[in-house]
Amino acid sequence: MKSLIGKISHFRDKNKLKNFGCKFSNGTDSLKSTQQILMESHSRISQGKLFSQSIMIGGYSYVRSGYEFYGNIEIGRFCSIGNNAIIGLEKNAHPTDWLTTSMFTEEFEELYTGTVTNVQPPKTVIGHDCWIGRDAVLMSGVKVGNGAVIGARAIVTKDVPDYAVVVGIPAKLTRYRFSQEIISQLTQLKWWTLSPEVLAETPLNNVATAIKLLEHNVDKACYEKLQLSKNKVTHL
């Protein structure tokens, strides 16, 4: 009986998300009572390991399968996150100033995790229009700027500027997507706040033309918001 109720709840929540163009493949029954996800319409999260207490994901962003999410995470709109990405990985998972890095007894583990959990973990923030390649790792507290590109298998240990392209271990800046003049215009424009219908009619493959067409547009987007918690989807 309990299994049947769970299946009905899963089907109901799945359909409710689908009505807003959303997907959460793990299902709300997989969430713990302390976990919450805030999704804007047209956002999708595939199957993965979710250790985060709080996640926010913006409209038209997606996360491919195989991810691992830790801590508190905020993802902007129009982001593309590849398979097996690890985001919010704790930097202090093991003691480096003890005699050993191994917590080989429960007493040692409790002692160390007690000192770590007393400190509020920093939020890991991914801006709007970011592309994160497969197998990339973002350490806890990192801020990825709007329009940034993170190369596949890169390990990001520090903040990434707007529209920067970073690759490698540790991730290093290789170039910017646009000139500083264009980046300044895009930062001021904040095109991700505009209506998707307007964006769909804009020549996005010509950045200079797109900026001219959009800079005086006041047709703002209106995204629906859904809050996911244990066995529940709430339309806010």
Catalytic center residues: 94
Helix H, strand E, coil C: the string for the chain is CHHHHHHHHHHHHHHHHHHCCCEECCCHHHCCCCCEEEEECCCEECCEEECCCEEEECCCCEECCCEEECCEEEECCCCEECCCCEEEECCCCCCCCCCCCCCCCHHHHHHHHHHHHCCCCCCEEECCCCEECCCCEEECCCEECCCCEECCCCEECCCECCCEEEECCCCEEEEECCCHHHHHHHHHHCHHHECHHHHHCCCCCCHHHHHHHHCCCCCECCCCEEEEECCEEEEC
Give, in order, the Cα–Cα distances in Å from 217 to each of 194, 212, 214: 8, 10, 5
Phi and psi angles of residue 186, each rounded to the nearest 5 degrees, phi first: -65, -40
